[in-house]
């Protein structure tokens, strides 16, 4: 499997209250086609920023983001927007916030990448594929929590992307549904041949991935590799205080 | 343009007495009029907005928009009313990641009209909103105030008869709030749209033609002094 997405030495800071706040520091990461990669971290650890940089939504201060042979930060806003409506799809928990029907809410972002009419058909096909065809005419705000997760996945696969970026969508589902969503995600990846980069907070959700990275204080540590890992004990999360104490991380990748 | 007649909505929680979320509310908002509605959390503001946007049915009373009774509409008709006649101004975090301002502002119009018809309208609105040189910028390159203005352009692009805004200055500093409220008022007057704005923000009253206050589901005379608490005045209650 060749690499689809590659982040190389990416750094990103934000300015808050006149102070520079480093969020990502020299981060490198790769996702291949057919592969699910998870980034685990606590709230405000920078997971969403990492995913936004990977999707070309936010430009890094330093480093490169390569997708399918293109360096994303060098592309114009129009080219990046088209990619986000076609080859790269972003999905998260946020609804459109304007009381749109689910079908329209999924179709709208697809307009970024393609012309006109077909987007509603694509949205309906995607909803049917994840098993919630009957939600197409409902409003996003009226969906149950689990329906919202599945509709979020439908938003991700509409338009058959090469890279699916899932921000904080699959957590807190409980074991049974986490496994169901994992099976669904794995079969979607098989059908589309796409790569997946997702942020997670739950250990159970992290286990759905082929590789799990942990994001702590702006730095990534590889904590598990290969889908064969099914025993939670094998995953050895880094101790967030270890670096400060100078004893090093216990992570597999360290 | 908007008329509420003796609107009542109850919620049954458990086996106790039903909660009166909206209790006999009657009010009118004329075309081109800017009306602010204050109310603390739990006062019934959100329920009232849902009754007006047709996502909730009242137990009794009517909601008339341009003479049509929203409560009598089928689900499909209410969806169509929301899409074509109602400008809903949401929160800036709902904009599509990575989309340019011109595209985000065009999205609702794209659902109702073609791209070619929409672009000049949206460009004109964005210019009026002071975003003439920011149209090609992506969501993440815009400040919160600019994102809020993109949402205003999206809502107004369809030429709505009624505009509903729920805390449109909730994510903004006071300078941006003033700018956004001033622009919103000017555009609503220009388009002849009725504007109902639900808020906690005391600045809003300064821009409104009329101000109402919602308390425990009932519409009351606006008393700004009731919303303010003098320093130290509640110490005795501790």
B79 touches chain A (CB under 8 A): yes
pLDDT digits (tens, 9 = 90+) for B85-111: 899 887 777 788 888 999 889 888 877
Is residue A247 pLDDT above 60, yes or no? no
* Closest Cβ opposite residue B55 in set A109, A137, A139: A139
How far, in Å, CA of A179 to CA of B211, rounded? 52
- B88 contacts in A (CB within 8 Å)? 98-99
User: Which residues have a Cβ under 8 Å from the Cβ of B23 and sit 6 or more positions away?
Assistant: B8, B44, B216, B217, B218
Axis crossing angle, helix B174-191 with helix B144-156, rounded to the nearest 10:
10
Q: Is the Cβ of B99 closer than 8 Å to some Cβ of chain A?
A: yes
Quick one: fold of B1-85+164-227?
Rossmann fold (3.40.50)
CA distance B86 to chain A (A): 10
- Residue A141 banded pLDDT, cuts 50, 70, 90: confident
Domain boundaries, chain B: 1-85+164-227, 90-159
Chain A interface includes B88 (CB < 8 A) = yes
Q: How confident is the model at residue B174 (pLDDT cuts 50, 70, 90)?
A: confident
Least CB–CB distance from B88: residue in A52, A95, A99: A99
Please tell me whether the overall predicted TM-score, pTM, comes out greater than 0.95 for this model: no
Spell out which residues of chain B touch residue A116, defining contact as CB-CB under 8 Å. Answer: 114-115
- Name the residue ranges covered by the structural domains of chain A: 1-87+161-220, 93-159
**β-pairing verdict for A163-167 and A195-200:** parallel
Superfamily of domain A1-87+161-220, CATH level 4: P-loop containing nucleotide triphosphate hydrolases (3.40.50.300)
Helix (H) or strand (E) holding A96, with range, is none
Here the ipTM equals 0.73
Closest CA to A229 of A253, A194, A199: A253
Interface test with B, best of A23, A99, A141 (most B CBs within 10 A): A99
**CA A158 remoteness from chain centre:** 15
A98–B88: do the CB atoms touch at under 8 Å?
Answer: yes
* Sheet of strand B34-38: strand arrangement: B86-89, B162-166, B194-199, B34-38, B210-215, B218-221
pLDDT higher than threshold 80 for residue A21? yes
Distance of CA B43 to the CA centre of its chain: 16
Q: What is the DSSP string of A34-60?
A: T-EEEEE--TTSSHHHHHHHHTTSS--
- Could you tell me the sign of the dihedral formed by the alpha carbons of A188, A190, A195, A201, in that order? positive
């Amino acid at each position: 499997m060749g690499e689809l997405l590659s982040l190389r030495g990416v750094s990103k800071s934000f300015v808050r209250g006149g102070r520079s706040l480093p969020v990502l520091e020299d981060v490198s990461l790769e996702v291949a086609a057919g592969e699910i990669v998870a980034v685990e971290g606590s709230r405000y650890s920078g997971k969403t920023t990492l995913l936004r940089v990977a999707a070309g939504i936010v430009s890094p201060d330093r480093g490169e983001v390569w997708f399918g042979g293109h360096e994303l930060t060098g592309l114009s806003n129009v080219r990046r927007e088209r990619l986000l409506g076609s080859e790269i799809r972003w999905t998260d928990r946020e609804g459109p916030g304007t009381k749109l029907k689910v079908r329209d809410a999924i179709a709208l972002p697809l307009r970024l990448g393609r012309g006109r009419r077909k987007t509603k058909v694509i949205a309906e096909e995607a909803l049917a594929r994840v098993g919630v065809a009957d939600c197409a005419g409902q409003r996003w705000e009226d969906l149950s929590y689990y329906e919202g997760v599945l509709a979020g996945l439908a938003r991700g696969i509409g338009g058959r992307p090469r890279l699916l970026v899932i921000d904080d969508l699959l957590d807190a589902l409980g074991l049974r549904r986490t496994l169901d969503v994992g099976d669904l995600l794995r079969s979607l990846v098989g059908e589309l041949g796409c790569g997946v980069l997702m942020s997670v907070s739950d250990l159970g959700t992290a286990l759905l991935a082929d590789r799990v990275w942990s994001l702590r204080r702006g730095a990534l540590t590889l904590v598990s590799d290969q889908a064969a890992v099914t025993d939670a004990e094998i995953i050895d999360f880094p101790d967030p205080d270890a670096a400060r104490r100078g004893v090093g991380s216990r992570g597999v990748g360290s | 343009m908007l008329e509420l007649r003796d609107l009542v909505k109850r919620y049954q929680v458990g086996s106790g007495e039903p909660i009166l979320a909206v209790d006999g509310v009657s009010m009118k908002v004329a075309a081109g009029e800017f009306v602010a509605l204050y109310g603390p959390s739990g006062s019934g503001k959100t329920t009232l907005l849902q009754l007006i946007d047709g996502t909730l049915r009242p137990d009794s009373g009517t909601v008339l928009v341009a003479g049509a009774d929203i409560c009598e509409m089928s689900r499909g008709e209410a969806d169509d009313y929301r899409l074509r006649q109602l400008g809903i101004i949401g929160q800036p975090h709902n904009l599509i990641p990575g989309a340019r301002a011109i595209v985000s502002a065009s999205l609702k119009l794209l659902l109702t009209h073609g791209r070619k018809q929409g672009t000049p309208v949206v460009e004109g609105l964005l210019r009026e909103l002071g975003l003439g040189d920011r149209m090609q910028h992506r969501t993440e390159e815009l400040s919160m105030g600019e994102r809020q203005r993109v949402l205003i352009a999206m809502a107004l692009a369809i030429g709505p008869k009624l505009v509903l805004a729920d805390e449109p200055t909730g994510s903004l500093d006071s300078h941006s709030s003033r700018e956004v409220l001033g622009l919103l008022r000017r555009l609503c007057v220009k388009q002849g749209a009725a504007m109902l704005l639900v808020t906690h923000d005391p600045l809003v009253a300064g821009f409104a033609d009329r101000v109402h206050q919602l308390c425990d589901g009932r519409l009351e005379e606006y008393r700004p002094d009731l919303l303010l608490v003098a320093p130290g005045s509640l110490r005795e209650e501790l």
